[in-house]
Each structure stands twice: as structure tokens, then as C-alpha cells.
Amino acid sequence: MPYSPTARAVLRFIKYNLVNFITFILDLLVIFVLTEFFHTYYLLAVVAGFACEVVAMFFINRSWTFHRDIHVARLTFAALVGASTFVFITVLTYTAVEIFGLYYLLARVLVGILAAVWSYVGDSYFTYQVPPLR
């Protein structure tokens, strides 16, 4: 029995965010290792961690969540969504740490929650051309 469009959208959102959560752990691990062991400035570590997360997310979501082939256009849109999410994450993480005085990993976790919705909508519409709510 096929799922309704709403049920498919909810399942896709859950799968996307499960992948997001798993790759976010990778992101945080990269940030922590670079910052604590290699004494990298936290914003540079955020860049490296996010880059690792985006690459892993693209390949996992491409096959498991959205069931799409790799096309140059998809890669281009994934890069653009990733870049916009990167700016979003970097600006908000910087603001949370430098202005509000939050611990850098806590700031990144809080910003990550907001970024999950931002990137899901962007990837749904642009990268995989699947309406996020249907």
C-alpha cells in the first residue's frame, strides 16, 4: 500500500534529519579534534567540520533519502545550499560565541538545529527537486 504524500514527506524529513544528526556528530568531532588537539581557531574548525558534514550528507541523502542519481546540476545545487548553510552557521555561531558568550560547541549545536530545517528545505527544493511538504 503506497504512502500518502504527507506520510512520504514526513518520512523523508525524518530520514534527512537522521542523516543530518549522524553527520553532525562527525562535524562536532572534527571541530573538537581540530580545536582541542591542533589548537585551530574555532571558526576555522567549524568550516572544516561543516565541509565534512556536507559531503557525507550529500552522498547518503542522495541514495537513501531522496533516491536520486548524481548529476552535475544536483552537485551544483548541493554546493550552493551548502554554501548558504555554511554562511548561516558561521554567522550565527560567531554571534552566539562572541556576543552571547556561549561555549563554542553548545553554540554549534544550537545553530545546527536551525540549520537542519534551512538545509532540508533548500536541498528538497533545489538539489533533489522534491517539494519538502509533499
Using an 8 Å Cβ cutoff, are 46 and 108 in contact?
yes
The secondary structure of the chain in percent helix, strand, coil, rounded to multiples of 5, reads 80, 0, 20
The answer to whether residue 68 sits within a structural domain is: yes
Cα–Cα distance, 83 to 65 (Å, whole number): 21
Q: 1 pLDDT exceeds 50?
A: no
The string of pLDDT tens digits covering residues 50-77 is 889 888 988 898 888 888 777 777 778 8
Cα–Cα distance, 41 to 96 (Å, whole number): 15
The answer to whether residue 134 sits within a structural domain is: no
Average model confidence (pLDDT) across the chain: 89
Cα–Cα distance, 69 to 116 (Å, whole number): 22
Cα–Cα distance, 38 to 63 (Å, whole number): 34
The pLDDT assigned to 117 comes to 87
The answer to whether residue 92 sits within a structural domain is: yes
The string of pLDDT tens digits covering residues 81-106 is 988 998 999 999 999 999 999 999 99
The answer to whether residue 120 sits within a structural domain is: yes
Q: 79 pLDDT exceeds 80?
A: yes
Range of the domain at 36: 5-127
What pTM does this model have? Answer: 0.74
Residue 62 has which C-alpha cell? Answer: 542522495
The string of pLDDT tens digits covering residues 8-42 is 888 988 999 899 899 989 999 999 999 999 999 99
The answer to whether residue 88 sits within a structural domain is: yes
The pLDDT assigned to 40 comes to 97
The answer to whether residue 132 sits within a structural domain is: no
Q: Which residue has the higher pLDDT, 127 or 107?
A: 107
Domain count, the chain: 1
The answer to whether residue 83 sits within a structural domain is: yes
Q: 113 pLDDT exceeds 80?
A: yes
Pick from 43, 31, 28, 57: which is nearest to 123 by CA? 57
The pLDDT assigned to 62 comes to 86
Burial of 7 (0-12, 13-18, 19+ CB in 10 A): exposed
Percent of the chain with pLDDT over 90: 47
The answer to whether residue 133 sits within a structural domain is: no
